[in-house]
Structure 1
Amino acid sequence: MKKRTTTAEWQECTKRWRIRVQKNGVMKSFYSSTPGRTGQREANAKADAWLDDSVRDGRKKISVLYAEWVEEKGLTCGTSYKEQCEKYGNYYILPVIGNLRIEDLTEGDLQKAIDTSFKKRCLCKRKVMKNSDKPLSKKTLMTIRSVENSFVKWCRKNKYTTLMPELTIPKNARIGEKKILQPEALRILFSVDTRRWYAKNVFDEYIYAYRFAVSTGVRPGELVGLWYGDIKGNTVNLRRSINTLDEETTGKNENSIRSFDMCEQAREAYEAQVQLLKDSGIQLNYNTPLFQIPCQRSLKRRWEKYQDGNGISPRITLYELRHTFVSMEAGELTDGQLKMLVGHSRNMDTFGVYRHEIKGQREALAAATTAAINKAHG
């Protein structure tokens, strides 16, 4: 129980007892109209009940609770996400708030971790960061905020705090430079299916995976984890992702599990891949990996060779195929449609999305995507 340091005082103007107490940066007043010491005790009791509110030991240091949270994350999330939470805590968050007691944590403390990291980058004295003359990118700052929010949410669930912060990103945060496939490179991708191998052009078995990725905006791990049975008719149901450590997860965030209809280019890539599997004698079961990609590393190496052998320069990463998709869709889809396709919004109502799909939203998305890709590569 958090102890109060004040007692209720009689307010002559309102003829009642009042006490003001603070918890987690929130100030609140409690009253009693009962005269005499009985009223004072009533007001004090109300304040004590609010301060207690079933909150557990508020004297625990945040660094201790953060370590507990990271370990618990490891039970339900992939190793890579657990390591990311640990890294962001050590680099940016804990140097600011780690020595505080959870009962003393305020929204301002959490915001300070973001703002200080923005200017000073890594706050861990034992770590030397590259490009230390540049402020952190907007994406990195957003990740810091996301990690802080997730940690505080865990603290609320475990009755360590009632804090519900509203954190902001500095308006002048640097937007990281990203490359995308330009129209000529898109033309090559959709017309050339070979790569260079010992000075010869050979068929690239992953060509339909590249085309499917740029036509749908799926993440590399989602591409590797896609099964033949995940596609029903024209609908893609993303249910899993294979991370860089070869672990199967449910994806990067709570919106990664999603469904959408394929545009014409994605449909063509899918049908060509299915035919390739049949021609190769691979039996098509529900859990047959659609693109037969063993891991993200293999896909990355092959994609780089495809680009080098076909004159696509500068190289773009597999994840930048996703950026290419988003860039092509700009102006063609509404913000809500685009968030639905790529699984971006943390606050997206999944039930609402499926309800809209039944009314034909996925068909509209597929038609709009077809038009966007046709426009992009002529």
Structure 2
Amino acid sequence: MRGHIRKRGNKYAIVVDVGYDDRGKRKQKWFSGYSNKTDAEKDLPGIVAKLQEGSFIEPTKATVSEFLNEWLKIRQSDLSSNTYDSYCRQVQNHIIPSIGQIPLSKLRAMHVQRMMGELEKKNLSKTSIHKAYSVLKAALKYAYKTDMIAVNIVDKLDNPKKGEKEMSFWTREEAKLFLERAKNEELYIFFHLALSTGMRPGEILGLKWSDIHPEKKTLHVTRSLTRQMHFKSPKTSIGKRYITLDDDTVSHLKAHRTKQKEHKMRAGKSYEDNNLVIATKLGKPVGHRNVLRTWYRIIQPLVQQEKVKEIRMYDLRHTHASMMLSEGVHSKIVSERLGHASVRTTLDVYSHITPGIQEEAADKIGSILK
């Protein structure tokens, strides 16, 4: 079995002789779409080897978009909520808009390079570009291992430089605008709790009405809902915590419970009462993916209109902490609300806020001593 390179117009193709048909006519397999001869020559040995050992599988007809969406479903069970959220964001916001329409079998290194250039033109940070590239790289590695593609084209590319880790969060105005846009959503209370308590998404989805104490204006974090729809206890005793609620949040919780009781009445015997704060209209737990769909539906128009910064849903937790620290709330209180192992963890994670607090403290002591 041998192969060679053939030029077609201004493109190059790999042509491999794979035997003869019943009439003695030579059969060939073509792998086209190469923009230059060098890239085709690099791929030729690998393709011939796969054909010879019988491990070659016909190229999939799926587009990059279709493949990535299926790949995300496969990876969902073994990724944390935070990581899965990040993967979805990179795929939907950065990868698919650029190369999603290309058939996976036709994807070439130049397409990925073009995507990287487009992301740079959007003034995305080095960190954001690196994240998008890393997700695509992981997906194509899976495609190669499962024989969906003959060659992993990202192996030919240099990894983009990784910038310093950034903390993404909204300003008070952005948070208010988001809640205003979300006010008519069934999941409004989820987003309100995320911003007003700093709880993790899984912790909010795991809340039961028995954890809410409106008369004391507190809630008790005792469990979280995983992506596999299992309830689990916090990893540490610090994770189990009480969080004090403001009057507005208590009012929203009461209104939400009234609405939930109406759903229960309408559903009748079909209602599955799990005593959950966040539940479907039939009382069942709400999955992370359903929340993410609502999140993207609300946030994407706001980002496109440049009314809010693009952040992850998990960053609502960071927004809560940043707003509290900026308002002068003691770091120990913030740490307790977030369920951090120590105050040092809080100070390290939110070090971008503390310089401003230090300056404010210096100004205050200065005014006292004048």
Higher helix proportion, which one?
2
TM-score, normalised via structure 2 length: 0.43
